[in-house]
Every structure is written in C-alpha cells, then in structure tokens.
Amino acid sequence: MRSSRALLGALAGLAALAAASAARAEPYYLIVAGLGGEARYEREFSRYADELAAAARRTAGGEEAVQVLRGEDATGEALRAAFESLAGRMEPADSLIVFLIGHGSYDGDTYKLNLKGRDLDGRQLGELLSAVPARAQLIVNATSASGAVLEQWAADGRIVVTATRSGAERNATRFAEHWAAALSSEEADVDKNGSVSAQEAFDYASRSVAESYEAEGTLATEHPQISGDAAARFTVARLTERPAALTPELERLTSRLTDLENEIEALRLRRDEMEPEAYLNQLQELLVQLATVQQQIDAAGGESTGAGTDGAAGRSAGAETDGAGGGSAGAETGRAGGSSAGTESEGGSSAGTESEGGSSAGTESEGAGGEPAPTGTDGIERRPN
C-alpha cells in the first residue's frame, strides 16, 4: 500500500513536470469568409479574414498552418478539401482553430453556411470537424443564425463560439469584427501573459458588440454564446511573433516528444485491460522519458508552450492514475496552453493544480474557501459587466 502511494506520488510529480514544461502543440487555422452578397459585406468579410489570418500567422509562426478561403474561392468543395487536408496533416495533440465569417441561414430546422455554389449545412460541417483528429478544437461561427449549431457541434475537447443566441437571430452580425480585434488587443489580454485565450477573446468581443449597440441606442440583434471546457486556457493568438523555426536538434527532440506522448495516450487507452501495477510501471517509465526529453528541449533553447490547449481540452500525455493499491486520486497530465501544472487531484494540494477539497497557490478548487472565477463555458449568454 505504502509503495503504491509512493509510486502514485512520484507519478503525480512527473505529470506536473511534464505538463508545466509541455511541448508545443501545433495550432492549425482555417479561416472561411463566405459570400457577402453586397459590396459592403464583401469588403468587411475580406478585411476580417485578413486580420484573423495575420493573428494566426503570428501565432503559428508562418503560412504553413494557416488556410484562408474567401469570397468566390470559398466553395463547399474547397472547404471539404481544406478539412481533408487538415485531417491528413494533424496529430491528436495538435489544436484546430476554425473561424467562419459571413452570412448564415436557419429555416427552423437546418443551419446553412452561405457559400458560392451549394451551401454546407450544420450537419455536414459538424462531420467535417469530427473527421479532424485534433482532440482540442475551437470553432468560432460568426455568421448570422450561428446559434443554431451551438449544441449540434458540441463535442469532447471542442469549444464552440457563436455570434448569436439561436438560429432566430438572423441579422448580419458584428461579432467577427470585434473577435478579430480581440486577437491583437492588449486590452483583451486580461492576464497580461502575452497571449489571448478563447475566453478572453470571447469576453472582449461580446462586450464590444453589446457596447456598439448601446452607443447607437438600438436593440441588440445578436447575443454571442460560448460552450465547451477550458476556454480560459485555450490560447487563440499570441500578441508577439512566434520564435523562429526549430533547429535540427530541436526538431529531433520534439519529434521524440510527440512519439512519447502518443505512446502514453495508447497506454492510457489500454488501461482497463492491464493489471494496475503493470500500468503504473509503464506509465512511470514513459513519464520519466517525457520529462527528460522536455528538459533537453528546454536546455537546447526550445519553447515549452504553444498556442493550443490545456489538460481538459487537448491533453497530450493523457496519463491517468486512479489510486490503484493506494488511497490517492490520479494525476492527469495535459499540454498546457496556459495552465501551470495541469494536474488534477482530489484531496491534495500542489502549486498550479486543480483540486477538490484542497488548496494551493494558483489553483481552481472546490471547498477551499473560495470560488473559481467563472469561465462562461456553459453555453449561457455572458453579458458585459
């Protein structure tokens, strides 16, 4: 019993180390600006797409991970091809970020994204999203009537943002303008960490939308929504350029790190088929290797955090221990888009952890004498203070 607890404690420490210095999760962006229908909207949609693309390239470190479809080029066929390309290129540990700009429609049953030629409906778009292997996804639908897909597109590891509360809000929206502005705004970066999270961008954009209607003295015809977990720790954009390309040595090390993460994920999936002790031993060995490689990356000048995810939305290691042979709950490691340690535990305390019944510096806790700051990720309308 004591040895099992010691092993679990060691694993928790390794998990925290691995998560705190988590390797770069590669962000991939797809930006779609549909037909405007009028010259004014064509100009606006194109401008928003340019602003979003600039933020995406700044964050991803170049053009390779950023695709933009706009106007006449934004057809259903082109969009399908873009998603197929992403499905073939991306790894489970990567993060997918999709921005949809333009006009949408809803007939009381089906949402459609207005494109040149045949439109794509909510079901078709949802299937394309699900075909991408990235466990962490952020989908921002800034079109009119976009609220119709808020629940339809919900999935584990996916954050969905819509410009409207429901499919009944069908007027042209302002949300895309303010969302694009948020990704380059120091004001949106509330925690001043040099990057903008999905929650920060949503709060900034939804507040700006409400203020724009109030300034005009008109009734708001859109009410932005957000659903999904970990929006507060999903990094959408950096405010400064991503560091230069990796050296050959760093490329080798990061490749090895990805391999180890995949091995840990595969082990986690076999957990129920294994004896607890065998599972923990193999997990410990892999976590030691993971931490060692990450230390080598840090020593070689590599960057430890990337645009992407936290332990809930897109955990890379996914290592879990459940107190087999001991009374301890497990550590769950994750690729940290902004979390400190990324471990979750019950009845314990540790810097940078999320805990139940415990307390620590930088924690989100229940029953620890305080309530965590609300994230607004439950799909309920967030109104500005």
Instruction: Name the residue type at position 230.
Output: A
Q: Percent of the chain having pLDDT more than 70?
A: 70
Mean pLDDT of the chain: 79
Q: Residue 53 in contact with residue 59, Cβ under 8 Å?
A: no
Please tell me whether residues 183 and 296 are part of one structural domain.
Answer: no
Residue 14 is assigned to a structural domain of this protein: yes
Give me the domain span that covers residue 65.
27-238
pLDDT for 166-205, tens place per residue?
A: 999 999 999 999 999 999 999 999 999 899 999 999 999 9
Domain count, the chain: 2
Cβ atoms within 10 Å, residue 181: 18
For residue 148, pLDDT beyond 90: yes
Residue 376 is assigned to a structural domain of this protein: no
Cβ atoms within 10 Å, residue 380: 12
For residue 227, pLDDT beyond 70: yes
Residue 218 phi/psi, 5-degree rounding, is -115, 160
| Burial of 79 from C-beta contacts in 10 A (0-12 / 13-18 / 19+) | buried
Compute the average pLDDT of residues 66-86. Answer: 97
Helix 248-269 and helix 276-299: axis angle, to 10°?
160
Please tell me whether residues 206 and 262 are part of one structural domain.
Answer: no
Residue 47 is assigned to a structural domain of this protein: yes
Residue 375 is assigned to a structural domain of this protein: no
Measured CA angle at 96 (ends 253, 383), to 5 deg: 130
pLDDT for 333-369, tens place per residue?
A: 333 333 333 333 333 333 333 333 333 333 333 333 3
Q: What is the pLDDT of residue 321?
A: 40
Please tell me whether residues 117 and 31 are part of one structural domain.
Answer: yes
Please tell me whether residues 278 and 170 are part of one structural domain.
Answer: no
Beta bridge partners of 112: 105, 121
| Spatial distance between the Cα atoms of 34 and 43, rounded to a whole number of angstroms | 11
Please tell me whether residues 12 and 31 are part of one structural domain.
Answer: no
Please tell me whether residues 153 and 280 are part of one structural domain.
Answer: no
Please tell me whether residues 203 and 260 are part of one structural domain.
Answer: no
CA atoms within 13 A on the CB side of 350: 22
Residue 234 is assigned to a structural domain of this protein: yes
Residue 284 is assigned to a structural domain of this protein: yes
pLDDT for 300-312, tens place per residue?
A: 765 443 334 333 3
Domain boundary among 238, 259, 287: 238
| Spatial distance between the Cα atoms of 226 and 138, rounded to a whole number of angstroms | 10
CA atoms within 13 A on the CB side of 150: 25
Cβ atoms within 10 Å, residue 77: 12
Please tell me whether residues 166 and 226 are part of one structural domain.
Answer: yes
Global pTM exceeds 0.75: no
Identify the CA nearest to 41 among candidates 103, 100, 99. Answer: 103
Please tell me whether residues 207 and 335 are part of one structural domain.
Answer: no
Domain boundary among 201, 222, 238: 238
Please tell me whether residues 152 and 197 are part of one structural domain.
Answer: yes
User: The domain that contains 46 carries what CATH number?
Assistant: 3.40.50.1460
Residue 275 is assigned to a structural domain of this protein: yes
Please tell me whether residues 17 and 114 are part of one structural domain.
Answer: no
Q: Which two tokens stand for residue 370?
A: 């305080």
Compute the average pLDDT of residues 57-83. Answer: 95
Please tell me whether residues 228 and 262 are part of one structural domain.
Answer: no
Residue 64 is assigned to a structural domain of this protein: yes
Q: What is the pLDDT of residue 34?
A: 95
Beta-strand relationship, 95-101 and 235-238: unpaired
pLDDT band at 229; cut points 50, 70, 90:
confident
